[in-house]
Amino acid sequence: MPAPLKFVGLDVGGTTMKAAVVDDAGKPSASVVMDTHPERGQEAGLETMCETIRRAVAAAKLKMADIAAVGVATPGLMDIAAGLILDPPNLKPWKNVPVRDHIAQAFGKPTAFENDANAAAYGEFWVGAGQEATSLVMFTLGTGVGGGIILGDTIVEGEHSHGGELGHLRIDLPDRGRLCGCGARGCLEAYASASAVTARAREELAAWRGPTKLKAYYTANDDELTAKVVFDLALAGDECATKVMDDTAYFLALGACATIAAVDPEMIVIGGGMTAAGEPFRAKIEEYIRRFGLPHPVKKVKVVFAKLGSDAGFIGAAGCARRLLRQQERREEIPVPG
């Protein structure tokens, strides 16, 4: 009996990149982290990706020959089909970086390439919160609001590599909504990202008449008044902070309801730092989804928190490598007509 297949998943971010060997059942070995240093240029960046992969293999006490395929996840903008990073704002000055082909040639392995938020969603789908689900929509609450949609074996990458850009679902009209970093108004990200939560907390605080511990943060900068502070105070019973948390759940639910009307998934998965707020936050999101979503599907849709934390990206990237290998095998199995 051959040894079970092993994959390497690499998740490239603007500050660091993280990789690990992941086995055929989705279990990761020890992960390794290296600084991305995008400012050193894309050639150096590609070499750092290769080195991170090599170190991950070494950390698992394996050799490259033991690895069946590699998966790489990167932030957008990208051209997924072409295997290119285009010019992502947090990887400046990189431009048109042929990640997939470079990695494939460096190691001589089948190499999958995926958007980082899609990879995280696929990780949760493969071995995380959505392991038993046949479809899911994932929202990741962080500096921005990321998203990924998995329908059966389809990762919704989109025609222009922008599938699952759920932070830019609009939840209010463009002439009225909050201003988003993308330049538009009303995007979910302008309501539910970490900085949007603190911005809304400042507004609530300025208008709040009752007692609230948030007052101690009135003149604080954003390093001190964080989404975590707001959510912690909410969990401790602070009414003003609770309103901010509830509103966050409400806005997020409106985004989720849009995806329910569009793709009607089995499961909504919420990931990112704010999920540390736990069950009270999850229950509020679920309550608002059931209240404001399409009546029939929202009776049944599951609303859960992600399980893989910040490992979702590289686990999902490894999952994409495994999926690629299976697709290649399946294509070889089909007899060619004639």
Residues that bind its own copies (CB under 8 A): 77, 134-135, 149, 151-152, 154, 156-166, 168-174, 182-184, 254, 257-266, 292, 294-297, 300-301, 330, 333-335
Are 265 and 302 in contact, with CB atoms under 8 Å apart? Answer: no
Secondary structure (H, E, C), 119-176: HHHHHHHHHCCCCCCCEEEEEEECCCEEEEEEECCEECCCCCCCCCCHHHCECCCCCC
- Minimum distance from residue 188 beta carbon to its own copies (Å): 9
Can you tell me which residue has the tokens 């999926």? 323
- Minimum distance from residue 248 beta carbon to its own copies (Å): 15
Q: Which residues, other chains included, contact 254 with Cβ-Cβ below 8 Å and sequence gap of 6+?
A: 171, 188, 288, 292
Q: Which is nearer to its own copies, 172 or 287 (CB)?
A: 172
- Give the closest residue to 56 by CA, choosing from 3, 10, 4, 103: 10
- Minimum distance from residue 170 beta carbon to its own copies (Å): 6
Q: Which is nearer to its own copies, 9 or 83 (CB)?
A: 83
Q: Which is nearer to its own copies, 170 or 282 (CB)?
A: 170
- Minimum distance from residue 269 beta carbon to its own copies (Å): 13
Can you tell me which residue has the tokens 């970086």? 97
Beta bridge mates, 270? 139, 305
Q: Which is nearer to its own copies, 217 or 251 (CB)?
A: 251
Q: Which is nearer to its own copies, 45 or 163 (CB)?
A: 163
- Minimum distance from residue 274 beta carbon to its own copies (Å): 21
Burial (CB count <10 Å: 0-12, 13-18, 19+), residue 256: buried
- Minimum distance from residue 278 beta carbon to its own copies (Å): 26
Q: Which is nearer to its own copies, 185 or 307 (CB)?
A: 185
**Which segments within the chain are labelled E, that is strand?**
6-12, 16-23, 32-35, 67-74, 78-79, 84-85, 111-115, 135-141, 145-151, 154-155, 267-272, 302-305
- Minimum distance from residue 292 beta carbon to its own copies (Å): 5
Rounded to whole angstroms, the Cα distance separating 272 from 161 reads 22
Q: Which is nearer to its own copies, 105 or 134 (CB)?
A: 134
Q: Is the dihedral of CA 294, 295, 297, 300 positive or negative?
A: positive
